[in-house]
């Protein structure tokens, strides 16, 4: 009994001592309620830490922690709204799609997936959280594209006008790397709101012209979705910019700050971060002809291959003509043309056919090879490089107009989504 009492006393003493010395561990808490979802304090800290890590790697200075936190909360609110909308729309990103995306990101970094995972962890990030963050970005992108696409209409006349303008513009050979800061209006702005936003925009321009860091100010002040990326809009041709930007950027030098430009969302400030000449777009075309033999129940793969090898031997020996053999024996629609495929982009061919042509010199014949269509022999008749700049401009005219409208319409859509949402800040 004495031993039991002693043990009990020691146990109680240990528990009391433990409770006295134990430190309080703060639990995760809700920072913002967004409709039926929430933004957690841990999510905010994770995003802030991620931005800080990237900034440290690129030696980019950052604004105050308070400004960075505000931008992180804004992004997470938008993400929450888009995930909720995505759930209603039935948008899903499978684990297989997610793994493929991460594999592509790793490949772009010239790393294996395992090495990329180690790199993420070495930067102090939780890989599973990083992985789910990629899923969120993919869902958000899909929801944004699907929602904004319905709001955009491009008339045939707009396409024609752009093509005509592109033919006349000498600046069409110039690309601009742009930075963007949006001093946003509140919902239903009063004249005082507009005046206050203008004053803030003027102050931002004053800071930029005095040498302040553009990305740092964008992260601290911009209401645009590119804020946490330092306001980086990427490289754009005049025709790919919103019309209001194009009018003031056209012909400007590197380092120029323009604005404030009033839009329906607020005052925009744009900086020309860099300029480059538009590179001439060239594509290689090949001219080829072929004889195709499709295996059947009667004609095996081995017999089809042997038959083509016999044709090839006769052609090289001068005993037979390629075109005549193609007309008589080749399967498929090109037989009536003597097997002629004409000039074409080799990327449009079956991979095996493309690879066979890539190994040939002009006028050289291939050995019999198998594609998804059957067995072939082919002759490369020519290669040429084409200036496809004009053709690509024509093909991309619609995409340029779409991209120009998408940026502005996307910002309007997100603003409307937020204005209609129930958002309750718990701080």
Phi/psi of residue 183, nearest 5 degrees: -90, 100
**Which run of H or of E encompasses 91?**
none
- Structural domains present in the chain: 1-90+151-281+389-427 (3.10.50.40), 282-387 (3.10.50.40)
CA distances from 83 to 80, 143, 239, 286, 318 (A): 5, 8, 32, 47, 68
Q: Helix, strand, coil proportions of the chain in percent (round to 5)?
A: 55, 20, 25
Measured distance CA(193)–CA(348) in Å, rounded: 55
Q: Could you read off the pLDDT tens digit of each residue along the chain, which spans 427 residues?
A: 444 443 444 344 443 344 444 445 456 789 899 998 898 998 898 888 888 888 888 888 888 888 889 888 998 998 999 899 988 888 888 888 888 888 888 888 888 989 989 988 888 788 888 888 888 888 888 888 888 888 888 888 888 888 777 665 544 568 889 999 999 898 888 999 999 999 999 999 999 888 888 999 999 889 888 888 888 988 888 877 877 888 888 878 888 898 899 988 899 999 999 988 755 556 788 999 999 999 888 999 899 999 999 999 999 999 999 999 999 999 988 999 999 999 988 988 988 899 999 999 999 999 999 988 889 999 999 998 876 666 666 666 788 788 878 888 888 888 888 889 999 998 7
């Amino acid at each position: 009994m004495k031993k039991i009492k002693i043990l009990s006393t020691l146990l109680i003493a240990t528990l009391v001592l433990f409770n006295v010395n134990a430190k309080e561990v703060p639990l995760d808490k809700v920072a913002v309620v967004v409709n039926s979802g929430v933004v957690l304090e841990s999510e905010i800290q994770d995003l802030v830490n991620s931005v800080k890590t990237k900034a440290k790697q690129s030696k980019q200075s950052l604004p105050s922690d308070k400004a960075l936190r505000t931008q992180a909360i804004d992004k997470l609110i938008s993400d929450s709204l888009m995930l909720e909308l995505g759930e209603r729309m039935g948008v899903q990103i499978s684990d297989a799609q997610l793994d493929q995306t991460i594999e592509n990101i790793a490949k772009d970094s010239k790393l294996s997936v395992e090495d990329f995972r180690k790199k993420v962890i070495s930067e102090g990030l939780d890989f599973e959280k990083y992985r789910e963050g990629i899923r969120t970005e993919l869902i958000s992108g899909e929801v944004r594209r699907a929602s904004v696409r319905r709001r955009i209409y491009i008339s045939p006349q707009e396409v024609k006008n752009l093509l005509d303008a592109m033919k006349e513009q000498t600046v069409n050979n110039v690309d601009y790397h742009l930075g963007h800061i949006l001093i946003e209006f509140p919902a239903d702005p009063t004249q005082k709101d507009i005046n206050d936003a203008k004053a803030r925009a003027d102050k931002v321009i004053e800071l930029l012209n005095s040498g302040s860091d553009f990305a740092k100010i964008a992260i601290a002040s911009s209401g645009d979705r590119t804020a946490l990326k330092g306001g980086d809009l990427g490289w754009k041709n005049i025709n790919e910019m919103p019309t209001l930007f194009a009018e003031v950027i056209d012909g400007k030098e590197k380092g120029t700050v323009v604005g404030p430009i009033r839009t329906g969302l607020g005052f925009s400030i744009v900086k020309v971060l860099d300029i480059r000449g538009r590179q001439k777009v060239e594509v290689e075309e090949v001219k080829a002809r072929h004889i195709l033999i499709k295996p059947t129940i009667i004609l095996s793969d081995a017999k089809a291959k042997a038959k083509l090898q016999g044709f090839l031997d006769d052609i090289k020996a001068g005993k037979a003509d390629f075109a005549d053999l193609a007309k008589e024996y080749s399967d498929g629609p090109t037989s009536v043309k003597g097997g002629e495929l004409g000039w074409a982009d080799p990327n449009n061919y079956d991979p095996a056919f493309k690879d066979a042509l890539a190994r040939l010199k002009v006028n050289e014949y291939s050995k019999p090879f198998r594609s998804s269509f059957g067995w072939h022999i082919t002759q490369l008749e020519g290669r040429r490089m084409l200036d496809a700049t004009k053709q690509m401009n024509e093909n991309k005219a619609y995409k340029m107009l779409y991209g120009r409208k998408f940026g502005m319409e996307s910002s309007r859509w997100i603003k409307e989504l937020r204005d209609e949402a129930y958002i309750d800040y718990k701080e």
